[in-house]
Amino acid sequence: MRGLLIGAILGLAAGNPAVAQTKRIYSGEAAAALRCSNTLALTAVALSRAGKISDLEKSVMLGITIRILERHVDGTWNQKKRALKVMRDRRTVPDTLADYRKNAARCLRQFPIN
């Protein structure tokens, strides 16, 4: 599955330790957690904008994405945000919403937040 390896392929700059510390390559479980987080966050915002869920429900979903990132993805918060941006830019909204319908329950089982 493309999402397991996508993870935010961010090249490390050779010879520049400052850049190397801010960029990171994600793969495997971390990449899958990033994809799940991206899927939940985008879906929460889309459903809220469409009036399908309340602000409270959106906040809960966004809180879950943060917990998944904190517990299942290594790196600094800025590295994680960059990786999410890369993933968001590579996936269409319809693809991400389809991922949610197909994988949301599995994401929550695979990446527990409690």
Q: pLDDT by residue (tens digit) across 44-97?
A: 999 999 999 999 999 999 999 999 999 999 999 999 999 999 999 998 999 999
pLDDT over 90, % of the chain: 75
- Taking 50 as the threshold, does the pLDDT of residue 7 lie above it? no
Cβ atoms 31, 4 nearer than 8 A: yes
Q: How many helical (H) and strand (E) elements, i.e. helices and strands, does the chain have? A: 6, 0
Range of the domain at 87: 2-110
- Separation of alpha carbons 108 and 72, rounded Å: 12
Average pLDDT of 20-40?
87
Cβ partners under 8 Å of residue 5, min gap 6: 27, 31
How many structural domains are present in the chain?
1
Residue type at 103 in one-letter notation: N
Residue type at 12 in one-letter notation: L
Residue 22 confidence (pLDDT): 61
